Amino acid sequence: MDRLLPAVLLAAFVIGVALLLQRKKQASPTEAITEHRAPTHLDRSDFDFPERPWLVVVFTSTSCDTCADVWAKATVLESEEVAVQQVEAHESAQLHEQYAITAVPIVVLAGADGVVQSSFLGPVSATHLWAAVAELRSPGSVPPGCTEH
């Protein structure tokens, strides 16, 4: 009997720790999101210059160093044909929520109808970004492999 009580207490302790660890694991917010995705359609009225044929949206956050680099690469794409807009997480939280943005940077290239034609998640080279826009504006103008990220 003297040996049984410590064994029962030890077993109860182990079970309690296991249950606690399991509950903690289930509550982890980082495991709830397993895959980040770019939106597949944008409502052009949510963004500046909806009358332009092309829209480049860069979803960013001020706490993201890579975002600043991607935004700098995207700004040079602005033209009479291409609207470029930064959507920062704190200033435009509603748009981040509406388009289910769970990671930044995300670059989205959409046509006049709002259908996303191309997107980049994470860092992107200027060459790939600019080639993607060139290919959308003039299909067949970019050599194969230049638009792939």
Task: Establish if 89 belongs to a structural domain.
Answer: yes
The structure tokens listed for 73 are 């690469």
Query: Does residue 28 share a domain with residue 2?
Result: yes
Query: Does residue 71 share a domain with residue 24?
Result: no
Say which residue the tokens 């930044």 belong to. 104
Task: Establish if 38 belongs to a structural domain.
Answer: no
Query: Does residue 18 share a domain with residue 56?
Result: no
DSSP type of residue 105 = -
Decide: residue 17, CB within 10 A, 0-12 exposed, 13-18 middle, 19+ buried: exposed
Say which residue the tokens 């296991």 belong to. 18
Query: What is the spatial distance between Cα 23 and Cα 45, in angstroms, rounded to a whole number?
Result: 43
Say which residue the tokens 């034609």 belong to. 117
Total of domains in the chain? 2
Question: 49-84: per-residue pLDDT in tens?
Answer: 999 999 999 999 999 999 999 999 999 999 999 999
The confidence band for 22, taking pLDDT boundaries of 50, 70 and 90, is low
Q: What confidence score (pLDDT) does residue 44 get?
A: 96
Query: Does residue 26 share a domain with residue 84?
Result: no
Task: Establish if 143 belongs to a structural domain.
Answer: no
Question: 91-109: per-residue pLDDT in tens?
Answer: 999 999 999 999 999 999 9
Q: What confidence score (pLDDT) does residue 138 get?
A: 85
Query: Does residue 27 share a domain with residue 53?
Result: no
The confidence band for 27, taking pLDDT boundaries of 50, 70 and 90, is very low
Q: Which residue has the higher pLDDT, 22 or 118?
A: 118
Query: Does residue 117 share a domain with residue 75?
Result: yes
Query: Does residue 48 share a domain with residue 2?
Result: no
We report the CATH number of the domain holding residue 50 as 3.40.30.10
Residue 28 has pLDDT above 70, yes or no: no
Strands 54-60 and 82-88: parallel
Domain that holds residue 9: 1-32
Decide: residue 114, CB within 10 A, 0-12 exposed, 13-18 middle, 19+ buried: middle
What's the predicted TM-score (pTM) here?
Answer: 0.73
